[in-house]
Structure 1
Protein backbone atom coordinates (compact mmCIF):
# COMPACT_ATOMS: atom_id res chain seq x y z
CA UNK A 1 0.00 0.00 0.00
CA UNK A 2 1.41 3.37 -1.01
CA UNK A 3 1.50 6.34 1.34
CA UNK A 4 -1.13 8.17 -0.71
CA UNK A 5 -3.46 5.16 -0.58
CA UNK A 6 -3.03 4.89 3.19
CA UNK A 7 -4.02 8.53 3.76
CA UNK A 8 -6.94 8.22 1.33
CA UNK A 9 -8.24 5.16 3.18
CA UNK A 10 -7.82 6.90 6.54
CA UNK A 11 -9.72 9.91 5.23
CA UNK A 12 -12.53 7.63 4.10
CA UNK A 13 -12.59 6.08 7.58
CA UNK A 14 -13.19 9.50 9.10
CA UNK A 15 -16.08 10.09 6.70
CA UNK A 16 -17.56 6.75 7.77
CA UNK A 17 -17.19 7.70 11.44
CA UNK A 18 -19.02 10.97 10.78
CA UNK A 19 -21.73 9.03 8.99
CA UNK A 20 -22.11 6.67 11.95
CA UNK A 21 -22.40 9.61 14.35
CA UNK A 22 -25.10 11.13 12.12
CA UNK A 23 -26.89 7.77 12.06
CA UNK A 24 -26.80 7.75 15.86
CA UNK A 25 -28.31 11.24 15.87
CA UNK A 26 -30.98 9.97 13.48
CA UNK A 27 -31.82 7.17 15.93
CA UNK A 28 -32.02 9.61 18.84
CA UNK A 29 -34.32 11.91 16.87
CA UNK A 30 -36.59 9.07 15.74
CA UNK A 31 -37.04 8.03 19.38
CA UNK A 32 -37.53 11.58 20.71
CA UNK A 33 -41.29 11.79 21.31
CA UNK A 34 -41.00 15.46 22.27
CA UNK A 35 -39.97 16.29 18.70
CA UNK A 36 -43.18 16.92 16.76
CA UNK A 37 -41.31 16.41 13.47
CA UNK A 38 -39.14 13.50 14.47
CA UNK A 39 -39.85 11.50 11.29
CA UNK A 40 -38.68 14.23 8.93
CA UNK A 41 -35.81 15.25 11.21
CA UNK A 42 -34.67 11.66 11.67
CA UNK A 43 -34.78 11.06 7.91
CA UNK A 44 -32.71 14.22 7.40
CA UNK A 45 -29.89 13.00 9.65
CA UNK A 46 -30.08 9.45 8.30
CA UNK A 47 -29.90 10.79 4.74
CA UNK A 48 -26.87 12.92 5.58
CA UNK A 49 -25.25 10.02 7.40
CA UNK A 50 -25.59 7.82 4.30
CA UNK A 51 -23.98 10.51 2.17
CA UNK A 52 -20.99 10.74 4.50
CA UNK A 53 -20.54 7.04 5.18
CA UNK A 54 -21.26 5.66 1.70
CA UNK A 55 -20.56 8.66 -0.52
CA UNK A 56 -17.56 6.98 -2.13
CA UNK A 57 -19.47 3.88 -3.23
CA UNK A 58 -22.93 5.27 -3.95
CA UNK A 59 -23.75 5.98 -7.61
CA UNK A 60 -23.72 9.69 -8.33
CA UNK A 61 -27.42 9.62 -9.24
CA UNK A 62 -28.30 8.13 -5.84
CA UNK A 63 -26.12 10.69 -4.05
CA UNK A 64 -27.84 13.46 -5.99
CA UNK A 65 -31.28 12.15 -5.05
CA UNK A 66 -30.28 11.99 -1.40
CA UNK A 67 -29.18 15.63 -1.55
CA UNK A 68 -32.51 16.55 -3.17
CA UNK A 69 -34.31 14.72 -0.35
CA UNK A 70 -32.49 16.92 2.18
CA UNK A 71 -33.89 19.94 0.39
CA UNK A 72 -37.40 18.50 0.23
CA UNK A 73 -37.45 17.83 3.98
CA UNK A 74 -36.50 21.42 4.75
CA UNK A 75 -38.70 23.01 2.06
CA UNK A 76 -41.78 21.33 3.51
CA UNK A 77 -40.74 22.36 7.02
CA UNK A 78 -40.40 18.80 8.30
CA UNK A 79 -37.23 19.47 10.29
CA UNK A 80 -37.11 20.47 13.93
CA UNK A 81 -34.19 20.88 16.30
CA UNK A 82 -34.43 18.60 19.29
CA UNK A 83 -34.83 19.85 22.86
CA UNK A 84 -32.27 18.99 25.52
CA UNK A 85 -32.28 19.34 29.28
CA UNK A 86 -30.45 22.49 30.38
CA UNK A 87 -27.30 22.22 32.44
CA UNK A 88 -27.28 23.17 36.09
CA UNK A 89 -25.56 26.53 36.50
CA UNK A 90 -24.12 25.37 39.84
CA UNK A 91 -22.64 22.32 38.14
CA UNK A 92 -21.15 24.45 35.36
CA UNK A 93 -19.58 26.89 37.82
CA UNK A 94 -18.17 24.04 39.90
CA UNK A 95 -16.66 22.42 36.79
CA UNK A 96 -15.20 25.75 35.66
CA UNK A 97 -13.50 26.25 39.02
CA UNK A 98 -12.22 22.69 39.05
CA UNK A 99 -10.73 22.51 35.56
CA UNK A 100 -9.99 26.20 34.90
CA UNK A 101 -7.96 26.69 31.71
CA UNK A 102 -7.63 22.94 31.14
CA UNK A 103 -11.01 23.12 29.38
CA UNK A 104 -9.24 24.74 26.43
CA UNK A 105 -6.53 22.10 26.12
CA UNK A 106 -8.40 19.54 23.93
CA UNK A 107 -9.56 22.32 21.59
CA UNK A 108 -6.07 23.76 21.25
CA UNK A 109 -4.86 20.26 20.38
CA UNK A 110 -6.92 20.47 17.18
CA UNK A 111 -4.92 23.43 15.91
CA UNK A 112 -1.47 22.46 17.19
CA UNK A 113 -1.53 18.75 16.34
CA UNK A 114 -3.09 19.21 12.90
CA UNK A 115 -0.47 21.84 12.05
CA UNK A 116 2.40 19.61 13.22
CA UNK A 117 1.07 16.60 11.33
CA UNK A 118 0.61 18.54 8.11
CA UNK A 119 4.07 20.09 8.39
CA UNK A 120 6.19 17.11 9.38
CA UNK A 121 4.37 14.04 8.00
CA UNK A 122 4.13 14.12 4.19
CA UNK A 123 0.66 13.45 2.82
CA UNK A 124 -1.10 13.72 6.16
CA UNK A 125 -2.62 17.17 5.58
CA UNK A 126 -5.92 15.74 4.28
CA UNK A 127 -6.52 13.84 7.54
CA UNK A 128 -4.63 16.08 9.97
CA UNK A 129 -7.75 17.61 11.51
CA UNK A 130 -9.39 14.20 11.88
CA UNK A 131 -6.37 12.73 13.63
CA UNK A 132 -6.05 15.82 15.82
CA UNK A 133 -9.73 15.47 16.77
CA UNK A 134 -9.21 11.85 17.84
CA UNK A 135 -6.15 12.77 19.90
CA UNK A 136 -7.90 15.80 21.39
CA UNK A 137 -10.86 13.62 22.35
CA UNK A 138 -8.48 11.22 24.08
CA UNK A 139 -7.01 14.09 26.11
CA UNK A 140 -10.55 15.21 26.99
CA UNK A 141 -11.36 11.73 28.31
CA UNK A 142 -8.25 11.77 30.49
CA UNK A 143 -8.72 15.31 31.81
CA UNK A 144 -12.50 15.23 32.36
CA UNK A 145 -12.90 11.49 33.06
CA UNK A 146 -15.02 11.16 29.94
CA UNK A 147 -16.40 8.11 28.18
CA UNK A 148 -17.44 7.01 24.70
CA UNK A 149 -21.12 7.21 25.71
CA UNK A 150 -20.80 10.79 26.92
CA UNK A 151 -18.86 11.75 23.81
CA UNK A 152 -21.56 10.38 21.51
CA UNK A 153 -24.28 12.09 23.54
CA UNK A 154 -22.57 15.48 23.42
CA UNK A 155 -21.75 15.06 19.74
CA UNK A 156 -25.44 14.36 19.14
CA UNK A 157 -26.34 17.50 21.10
CA UNK A 158 -23.94 19.60 19.02
CA UNK A 159 -25.14 18.16 15.70
CA UNK A 160 -28.78 18.79 16.53
CA UNK A 161 -28.00 22.30 17.80
CA UNK A 162 -26.40 23.18 14.46
CA UNK A 163 -29.47 21.92 12.62
CA UNK A 164 -29.65 22.21 8.85
CA UNK A 165 -26.88 24.82 8.83
CA UNK A 166 -24.47 21.95 9.49
CA UNK A 167 -24.51 21.06 5.78
CA UNK A 168 -23.91 24.65 4.66
CA UNK A 169 -20.10 24.35 4.26
CA UNK A 170 -20.44 21.29 2.00
CA UNK A 171 -23.16 22.91 -0.10
CA UNK A 172 -21.21 26.16 -0.49
CA UNK A 173 -18.03 24.30 -1.44
CA UNK A 174 -20.01 22.39 -4.07
CA UNK A 175 -21.53 25.65 -5.26
CA UNK A 176 -18.06 27.07 -5.74
CA UNK A 177 -17.11 24.11 -7.93
CA UNK A 178 -20.32 24.52 -9.96
CA UNK A 179 -19.60 28.22 -10.47
CA UNK A 180 -16.07 27.41 -11.57
CA UNK A 181 -17.18 24.73 -14.06
CA UNK A 182 -19.90 27.00 -15.45
CA UNK A 183 -17.32 29.60 -16.42
CA UNK A 184 -17.98 32.27 -13.78
CA UNK A 185 -14.26 32.44 -13.10
CA UNK A 186 -13.54 33.15 -16.77
CA UNK A 187 -16.10 35.95 -16.83
CA UNK A 188 -14.52 37.51 -13.73
CA UNK A 189 -11.03 37.14 -15.22
CA UNK A 190 -12.12 38.92 -18.40
CA UNK A 191 -13.69 41.74 -16.40
CA UNK A 192 -10.66 42.16 -14.14
CA UNK A 193 -8.30 41.97 -17.13
CA UNK A 194 -9.63 45.29 -18.38
CA UNK A 195 -8.95 46.99 -15.04
CA UNK A 196 -5.74 45.46 -13.61
CA UNK A 197 -2.57 46.54 -15.44
CA UNK A 198 -0.87 43.55 -17.06
CA UNK A 199 2.01 42.22 -14.98
CA UNK A 200 1.23 44.39 -11.95
CA UNK A 201 1.79 42.36 -8.82
CA UNK A 202 0.33 44.97 -6.48
CA UNK A 203 -2.93 45.52 -8.34
CA UNK A 204 -3.24 41.78 -8.90
CA UNK A 205 -2.97 41.24 -5.14
CA UNK A 206 -5.50 44.00 -4.44
CA UNK A 207 -7.92 42.46 -6.95
CA UNK A 208 -7.45 38.97 -5.48
CA UNK A 209 -8.02 40.07 -1.86
CA UNK A 210 -10.93 42.40 -2.62
CA UNK A 211 -12.44 39.81 -4.96
CA UNK A 212 -12.44 37.26 -2.14
CA UNK A 213 -13.92 39.78 0.31
CA UNK A 214 -16.70 40.94 -2.04
CA UNK A 215 -17.63 37.52 -3.40
CA UNK A 216 -17.62 36.05 0.11
CA UNK A 217 -19.93 38.84 1.25
CA UNK A 218 -22.29 38.00 -1.62
CA UNK A 219 -22.23 34.23 -1.03
CA UNK A 220 -21.99 34.37 2.75
CA UNK A 221 -19.08 31.95 2.90
CA UNK A 222 -15.45 31.93 1.74
CA UNK A 223 -15.64 28.30 0.57
CA UNK A 224 -17.88 29.16 -2.36
CA UNK A 225 -15.84 32.24 -3.23
CA UNK A 226 -12.42 30.59 -3.13
CA UNK A 227 -12.69 28.34 -6.17
CA UNK A 228 -14.21 31.01 -8.39
CA UNK A 229 -11.98 33.93 -7.38
CA UNK A 230 -8.80 31.86 -7.38
CA UNK A 231 -9.54 30.59 -10.89
CA UNK A 232 -10.61 33.99 -12.16
CA UNK A 233 -8.16 36.30 -10.40
CA UNK A 234 -5.66 34.44 -8.23
CA UNK A 235 -4.10 32.22 -10.89
CA UNK A 236 -3.92 34.64 -13.86
CA UNK A 237 -3.10 37.85 -11.97
CA UNK A 238 -1.17 36.72 -8.87
CA UNK A 239 0.26 33.22 -9.18
CA UNK A 240 1.12 33.70 -12.88
CA UNK A 241 3.19 36.73 -11.83
CA UNK A 242 5.37 34.56 -9.58
CA UNK A 243 3.51 34.32 -6.27
CA UNK A 244 3.91 31.23 -4.11
CA UNK A 245 0.61 29.36 -4.68
CA UNK A 246 0.38 27.97 -1.12
CA UNK A 247 0.94 31.33 0.58
CA UNK A 248 -1.25 33.31 -1.82
CA UNK A 249 -4.12 30.80 -1.61
CA UNK A 250 -3.99 30.58 2.19
CA UNK A 251 -4.09 34.37 2.53
CA UNK A 252 -6.90 34.58 -0.04
CA UNK A 253 -9.01 32.19 2.02
CA UNK A 254 -8.52 34.14 5.25
CA UNK A 255 -9.16 37.37 3.33
CA UNK A 256 -12.52 35.89 2.43
CA UNK A 257 -13.29 35.58 6.12
CA UNK A 258 -13.01 39.37 6.31
CA UNK A 259 -15.98 39.41 3.95
CA UNK A 260 -17.80 37.01 6.28
CA UNK A 261 -17.55 39.63 9.01
CA UNK A 262 -19.28 42.19 6.80
CA UNK A 263 -22.33 40.40 5.45
CA UNK A 264 -25.77 39.41 6.77
CA UNK A 265 -25.56 36.47 4.34
CA UNK A 266 -23.27 34.80 6.91
CA UNK A 267 -26.33 34.16 9.04
CA UNK A 268 -24.69 31.81 11.54
CA UNK A 269 -22.04 34.40 12.42
CA UNK A 270 -23.90 37.69 12.15
CA UNK A 271 -27.70 37.41 12.00
CA UNK A 272 -28.17 34.55 14.49
CA UNK A 273 -26.17 36.16 17.34
CA UNK A 274 -28.07 39.44 16.88
CA UNK A 275 -31.33 37.51 17.14
CA UNK A 276 -30.28 35.41 20.15
CA UNK A 277 -29.07 38.48 22.04
CA UNK A 278 -32.20 40.41 21.03
CA UNK A 279 -30.17 43.32 19.70
CA UNK A 280 -32.15 46.36 18.57
CA UNK A 281 -30.02 46.67 15.46
CA UNK A 282 -30.08 43.39 13.47
CA UNK A 283 -26.81 44.49 11.87
CA UNK A 284 -25.18 45.36 15.20
CA UNK A 285 -22.73 42.46 15.06
CA UNK A 286 -21.56 43.51 11.59
CA UNK A 287 -21.24 47.13 12.73
CA UNK A 288 -18.92 46.11 15.56
CA UNK A 289 -16.85 43.84 13.31
CA UNK A 290 -16.51 46.23 10.37
CA UNK A 291 -13.52 48.30 11.65
CA UNK A 292 -11.44 45.21 12.42
CA UNK A 293 -12.45 43.60 9.13
CA UNK A 294 -11.29 46.70 7.24
CA UNK A 295 -7.93 46.66 9.01
CA UNK A 296 -7.49 42.95 8.29
CA UNK A 297 -8.24 43.48 4.59
CA UNK A 298 -5.34 45.95 4.41
CA UNK A 299 -3.14 43.54 6.38
CA UNK A 300 -3.92 40.74 3.93
CA UNK A 301 -3.00 42.92 0.95
CA UNK A 302 0.34 43.76 2.57
CA UNK A 303 1.06 40.17 3.62
CA UNK A 304 0.27 38.72 0.20
CA UNK A 305 2.33 41.36 -1.62
CA UNK A 306 5.43 41.06 0.55
CA UNK A 307 5.20 37.41 1.63
CA UNK A 308 3.87 35.54 -1.39
CA UNK A 309 6.41 36.94 -3.86
Structure 2
Protein backbone atom coordinates (compact mmCIF):
# COMPACT_ATOMS: atom_id res chain seq x y z
CA UNK A 1 0.00 0.00 0.00
CA UNK A 2 1.68 3.15 -1.26
CA UNK A 3 0.38 5.58 1.37
CA UNK A 4 0.31 3.16 4.27
CA UNK A 5 2.44 3.58 7.39
CA UNK A 6 3.24 0.88 9.91
CA UNK A 7 4.67 0.73 13.43
CA UNK A 8 6.96 -2.08 14.65
CA UNK A 9 7.79 -1.98 18.37
CA UNK A 10 10.06 -4.09 20.55
CA UNK A 11 9.50 -2.99 24.14
CA UNK A 12 11.70 -4.12 27.02
CA UNK A 13 12.39 -3.56 30.68
CA UNK A 14 15.20 -1.10 29.97
CA UNK A 15 14.75 0.22 26.43
CA UNK A 16 12.27 0.10 23.57
CA UNK A 17 12.91 0.19 19.83
CA UNK A 18 10.40 1.83 17.51
CA UNK A 19 10.41 1.56 13.72
CA UNK A 20 8.19 3.52 11.37
CA UNK A 21 7.76 1.59 8.12
CA UNK A 22 6.52 2.88 4.78
CA UNK A 23 4.09 1.12 2.46
CA UNK A 24 6.83 -1.18 1.20
CA UNK A 25 7.79 -2.05 4.81
CA UNK A 26 11.06 -0.18 4.61
CA UNK A 27 12.29 1.52 7.76
CA UNK A 28 11.60 5.24 7.33
CA UNK A 29 12.39 6.31 10.90
CA UNK A 30 13.74 4.68 14.04
CA UNK A 31 14.07 5.73 17.65
CA UNK A 32 14.91 4.30 21.05
CA UNK A 33 12.69 4.90 24.05
CA UNK A 34 12.70 3.85 27.68
CA UNK A 35 11.15 1.04 29.69
CA UNK A 36 7.54 0.09 28.89
CA UNK A 37 7.22 -2.84 31.33
CA UNK A 38 4.50 -1.84 33.79
CA UNK A 39 6.07 -4.07 36.46
CA UNK A 40 9.17 -1.85 36.51
CA UNK A 41 7.44 1.55 36.34
CA UNK A 42 6.22 3.35 39.48
CA UNK A 43 3.00 4.41 37.76
CA UNK A 44 2.29 0.99 36.25
CA UNK A 45 0.15 1.00 33.12
CA UNK A 46 -0.26 4.77 33.17
CA UNK A 47 3.50 5.14 32.85
CA UNK A 48 3.55 2.49 30.10
CA UNK A 49 0.95 4.44 28.11
CA UNK A 50 2.78 7.73 28.72
CA UNK A 51 6.10 6.30 27.49
CA UNK A 52 4.52 4.74 24.38
CA UNK A 53 2.54 7.89 23.54
CA UNK A 54 5.58 10.15 23.87
CA UNK A 55 7.93 7.97 21.79
CA UNK A 56 5.37 7.31 19.06
CA UNK A 57 4.51 11.01 18.80
CA UNK A 58 8.21 11.83 18.46
CA UNK A 59 8.68 9.18 15.77
CA UNK A 60 5.65 10.28 13.73
CA UNK A 61 6.49 13.95 14.13
CA UNK A 62 9.70 13.48 12.20
CA UNK A 63 7.58 12.73 9.10
CA UNK A 64 4.77 15.16 9.89
CA UNK A 65 2.39 12.27 10.60
CA UNK A 66 -0.42 11.82 13.11
CA UNK A 67 -1.47 8.69 14.97
CA UNK A 68 -4.42 8.31 12.57
CA UNK A 69 -1.98 7.85 9.69
CA UNK A 70 -0.84 4.47 11.07
CA UNK A 71 -2.37 1.56 9.14
CA UNK A 72 -1.27 -1.23 11.49
CA UNK A 73 0.99 -1.83 14.49
CA UNK A 74 2.72 -4.92 15.88
CA UNK A 75 4.17 -4.49 19.36
CA UNK A 76 6.01 -7.08 21.41
CA UNK A 77 6.22 -5.74 24.95
CA UNK A 78 7.89 -7.00 28.10
CA UNK A 79 5.47 -7.49 30.99
CA UNK A 80 2.50 -8.71 28.92
CA UNK A 81 2.17 -12.01 30.76
CA UNK A 82 -1.52 -12.61 31.51
CA UNK A 83 -5.04 -11.98 30.23
CA UNK A 84 -5.28 -8.98 32.54
CA UNK A 85 -2.02 -7.61 31.12
CA UNK A 86 -3.37 -8.14 27.61
CA UNK A 87 -6.55 -6.21 28.39
CA UNK A 88 -4.61 -3.36 29.95
CA UNK A 89 -2.05 -2.98 27.16
CA UNK A 90 -4.75 -3.09 24.48
CA UNK A 91 -6.58 -0.33 26.34
CA UNK A 92 -3.35 1.68 26.43
CA UNK A 93 -2.88 1.38 22.66
CA UNK A 94 -6.51 2.34 21.95
CA UNK A 95 -6.21 5.34 24.26
CA UNK A 96 -3.11 6.44 22.35
CA UNK A 97 -5.23 6.37 19.20
CA UNK A 98 -4.15 3.17 17.45
CA UNK A 99 -7.08 1.36 15.85
CA UNK A 100 -5.52 -1.74 14.28
CA UNK A 101 -2.78 -3.58 16.13
CA UNK A 102 -1.41 -6.86 17.43
CA UNK A 103 0.28 -6.73 20.83
CA UNK A 104 1.93 -9.60 22.68
CA UNK A 105 4.84 -10.45 24.94
CA UNK A 106 8.16 -9.41 23.38
CA UNK A 107 9.37 -13.01 23.60
CA UNK A 108 7.32 -13.91 20.53
CA UNK A 109 9.13 -11.49 18.22
CA UNK A 110 12.29 -13.61 17.76
CA UNK A 111 10.15 -16.54 16.58
CA UNK A 112 8.89 -14.39 13.72
CA UNK A 113 12.32 -12.90 13.06
CA UNK A 114 14.43 -16.06 13.19
CA UNK A 115 12.27 -19.18 12.69
CA UNK A 116 10.28 -18.53 9.50
CA UNK A 117 7.25 -17.72 11.59
CA UNK A 118 6.99 -20.85 13.73
CA UNK A 119 9.14 -22.41 16.41
CA UNK A 120 10.33 -21.58 19.91
CA UNK A 121 12.35 -18.67 21.33
CA UNK A 122 14.04 -18.96 24.71
CA UNK A 123 15.17 -15.64 26.11
CA UNK A 124 17.70 -15.07 28.87
CA UNK A 125 18.33 -11.39 29.43
CA UNK A 126 17.49 -9.60 32.64
CA UNK A 127 14.85 -12.30 33.10
CA UNK A 128 13.71 -15.51 31.42
CA UNK A 129 10.92 -16.16 28.93
CA UNK A 130 9.96 -19.03 26.62
CA UNK A 131 7.57 -18.39 23.72
CA UNK A 132 6.36 -20.59 20.88
CA UNK A 133 4.25 -20.15 17.76
CA UNK A 134 2.80 -23.05 15.78
CA UNK A 135 2.41 -23.18 12.02
CA UNK A 136 -1.29 -22.56 12.65
CA UNK A 137 -0.31 -19.35 14.52
CA UNK A 138 -1.21 -20.63 17.98
CA UNK A 139 0.89 -18.86 20.61
CA UNK A 140 2.09 -20.31 23.93
CA UNK A 141 4.23 -18.64 26.59
CA UNK A 142 5.98 -20.26 29.54
CA UNK A 143 8.09 -18.75 32.34
CA UNK A 144 8.63 -15.01 32.49
CA UNK A 145 7.24 -14.44 36.00
CA UNK A 146 10.60 -14.39 37.79
CA UNK A 147 10.54 -16.18 41.15
CA UNK A 148 6.78 -16.68 40.86
CA UNK A 149 7.27 -19.21 38.03
CA UNK A 150 10.60 -20.55 39.25
CA UNK A 151 12.61 -18.96 36.45
CA UNK A 152 16.34 -19.67 36.54
CA UNK A 153 18.99 -18.15 34.31
CA UNK A 154 18.32 -14.47 33.77
CA UNK A 155 20.95 -11.90 34.67
CA UNK A 156 19.15 -10.88 37.85
CA UNK A 157 18.79 -14.52 38.93
CA UNK A 158 22.48 -15.21 38.27
CA UNK A 159 23.54 -12.20 40.37
CA UNK A 160 21.33 -13.22 43.31
CA UNK A 161 22.43 -16.85 43.33
CA UNK A 162 26.07 -16.04 42.72
CA UNK A 163 26.14 -13.75 45.74
CA UNK A 164 24.25 -16.33 47.80
CA UNK A 165 26.84 -18.99 46.98
CA UNK A 166 29.68 -16.67 47.96
CA UNK A 167 27.91 -15.62 51.16
CA UNK A 168 27.18 -19.18 52.25
CA UNK A 169 30.71 -20.38 51.54
CA UNK A 170 32.46 -17.52 53.32
CA UNK A 171 30.08 -16.29 56.01
CA UNK A 172 28.42 -19.55 57.02
CA UNK A 173 31.13 -22.15 56.45
CA UNK A 174 34.40 -20.22 56.27
CA UNK A 175 35.32 -21.97 53.03
CA UNK A 176 37.30 -20.54 50.14
CA UNK A 177 36.64 -21.69 46.58
CA UNK A 178 37.50 -20.53 43.09
CA UNK A 179 34.22 -18.58 43.04
CA UNK A 180 34.72 -16.84 46.39
CA UNK A 181 38.29 -15.84 45.53
CA UNK A 182 37.30 -14.64 42.06
CA UNK A 183 34.35 -12.69 43.49
CA UNK A 184 36.54 -10.90 46.01
CA UNK A 185 39.03 -10.01 43.29
CA UNK A 186 36.36 -8.89 40.81
CA UNK A 187 34.65 -6.59 43.33
CA UNK A 188 37.76 -5.51 45.21
CA UNK A 189 36.67 -7.13 48.48
CA UNK A 190 39.23 -7.41 51.28
CA UNK A 191 36.86 -8.02 54.17
CA UNK A 192 33.39 -9.31 54.97
CA UNK A 193 32.20 -5.70 55.09
CA UNK A 194 33.43 -5.18 51.54
CA UNK A 195 31.43 -8.21 50.41
CA UNK A 196 28.29 -6.84 52.02
CA UNK A 197 28.93 -3.47 50.39
CA UNK A 198 29.15 -5.18 46.98
CA UNK A 199 25.59 -6.39 47.49
CA UNK A 200 24.33 -2.81 47.38
CA UNK A 201 25.62 -2.61 43.80
CA UNK A 202 24.04 -5.91 42.74
CA UNK A 203 20.69 -4.93 44.27
CA UNK A 204 20.38 -1.95 41.95
CA UNK A 205 21.23 -3.06 38.41
CA UNK A 206 19.61 0.05 36.93
CA UNK A 207 22.06 2.35 38.69
CA UNK A 208 24.99 -0.10 38.58
CA UNK A 209 24.64 -2.20 35.40
CA UNK A 210 28.39 -2.86 35.40
CA UNK A 211 28.05 -4.84 38.66
CA UNK A 212 25.33 -7.07 37.23
CA UNK A 213 27.41 -7.70 34.09
CA UNK A 214 30.45 -8.49 36.24
CA UNK A 215 28.46 -11.07 38.22
CA UNK A 216 27.30 -12.82 35.02
CA UNK A 217 30.83 -12.83 33.59
CA UNK A 218 32.15 -14.21 36.86
CA UNK A 219 29.60 -17.02 36.86
CA UNK A 220 30.63 -18.24 33.41
CA UNK A 221 34.32 -17.95 34.25
CA UNK A 222 33.76 -20.06 37.38
CA UNK A 223 31.83 -22.62 35.35
CA UNK A 224 34.77 -22.88 32.95
CA UNK A 225 36.96 -23.67 35.97
CA UNK A 226 34.51 -26.39 37.09
CA UNK A 227 33.68 -24.57 40.31
CA UNK A 228 31.18 -26.69 42.24
CA UNK A 229 28.72 -23.88 42.99
CA UNK A 230 28.82 -22.60 39.41
CA UNK A 231 28.13 -26.11 38.11
CA UNK A 232 25.15 -26.44 40.44
CA UNK A 233 23.71 -23.15 39.20
CA UNK A 234 24.31 -24.11 35.56
CA UNK A 235 22.43 -27.37 36.05
CA UNK A 236 19.48 -25.51 37.57
CA UNK A 237 19.49 -23.03 34.70
CA UNK A 238 19.64 -25.64 31.95
CA UNK A 239 17.00 -27.80 33.66
CA UNK A 240 14.70 -24.76 33.65
CA UNK A 241 15.49 -24.17 29.97
CA UNK A 242 14.83 -27.75 28.93
CA UNK A 243 11.60 -28.01 30.93
CA UNK A 244 10.10 -24.83 29.52
CA UNK A 245 11.07 -25.54 25.92
CA UNK A 246 9.71 -29.09 26.05
CA UNK A 247 6.46 -27.91 27.65
CA UNK A 248 5.88 -25.28 24.96
CA UNK A 249 6.71 -27.86 22.28
CA UNK A 250 4.23 -30.35 23.72
CA UNK A 251 1.44 -27.80 24.11
CA UNK A 252 1.82 -26.61 20.53
CA UNK A 253 1.85 -30.20 19.24
CA UNK A 254 4.62 -29.76 16.68
CA UNK A 255 4.52 -32.65 14.23
CA UNK A 256 7.78 -31.77 12.49
CA UNK A 257 10.88 -33.91 12.98
CA UNK A 258 12.99 -30.84 13.81
CA UNK A 259 11.80 -27.88 15.85
CA UNK A 260 13.67 -24.55 15.50
CA UNK A 261 14.71 -23.19 18.91
CA UNK A 262 16.34 -19.77 18.90
CA UNK A 263 18.32 -18.61 21.94
CA UNK A 264 17.91 -14.89 22.58
CA UNK A 265 18.94 -12.36 25.19
CA UNK A 266 22.32 -11.10 26.35
CA UNK A 267 23.05 -14.09 28.58
CA UNK A 268 22.79 -16.44 25.59
CA UNK A 269 24.22 -14.28 22.83
CA UNK A 270 26.94 -12.29 24.66
CA UNK A 271 27.90 -13.81 28.00
CA UNK A 272 27.51 -17.59 27.76
CA UNK A 273 30.60 -19.68 26.98
CA UNK A 274 30.83 -22.94 25.06
CA UNK A 275 30.83 -24.99 28.26
CA UNK A 276 27.43 -23.66 29.24
CA UNK A 277 25.91 -23.76 25.75
CA UNK A 278 26.98 -27.39 25.29
CA UNK A 279 25.35 -28.31 28.61
CA UNK A 280 22.20 -26.43 27.61
CA UNK A 281 21.97 -28.20 24.26
CA UNK A 282 22.50 -31.59 25.89
CA UNK A 283 19.67 -30.99 28.39
CA UNK A 284 17.28 -29.61 25.78
CA UNK A 285 17.90 -32.42 23.29
CA UNK A 286 17.31 -35.01 26.00
CA UNK A 287 14.01 -33.37 26.94
CA UNK A 288 12.92 -33.12 23.28
CA UNK A 289 14.15 -36.52 22.09
CA UNK A 290 16.73 -34.90 19.82
CA UNK A 291 14.16 -32.87 17.86
CA UNK A 292 15.51 -29.40 18.69
CA UNK A 293 17.40 -27.37 16.10
CA UNK A 294 19.13 -24.92 18.46
CA UNK A 295 20.80 -21.73 17.24
CA UNK A 296 21.60 -18.24 18.59
CA UNK A 297 19.64 -15.19 17.54
CA UNK A 298 21.20 -13.17 14.72
CA UNK A 299 18.53 -10.49 14.16
CA UNK A 300 17.04 -7.74 16.25
CA UNK A 301 13.66 -8.73 17.75
CA UNK A 302 11.97 -5.70 16.18
CA UNK A 303 12.57 -7.42 12.83
CA UNK A 304 9.99 -9.96 13.98
CA UNK A 305 7.40 -7.21 14.43
CA UNK A 306 8.26 -5.93 10.97
CA UNK A 307 7.80 -9.38 9.42
CA UNK A 308 4.52 -9.84 11.30
CA UNK A 309 3.22 -6.59 9.81
CA UNK A 310 4.02 -7.83 6.32
CA UNK A 311 2.14 -11.08 7.00
CA UNK A 312 -0.88 -9.21 8.35
CA UNK A 313 -0.96 -6.93 5.31
CA UNK A 314 -0.71 -9.91 2.93
CA UNK A 315 -3.51 -11.72 4.77
CA UNK A 316 -5.67 -8.60 4.68
CA UNK A 317 -5.12 -8.25 0.94
CA UNK A 318 -5.88 -11.91 0.36
CA UNK A 319 -9.20 -11.73 2.17
CA UNK A 320 -10.26 -8.46 0.54
Asked whether the two chains share a fold, i.e. TM above 0.5, the reply is: no
Structure-2-length-normalised TM-score: 0.25
* Structure having the larger proportion of residues in strand: 2
* Structure having the larger proportion of residues in helix: 1
Structure-1-length-normalised TM-score: 0.25
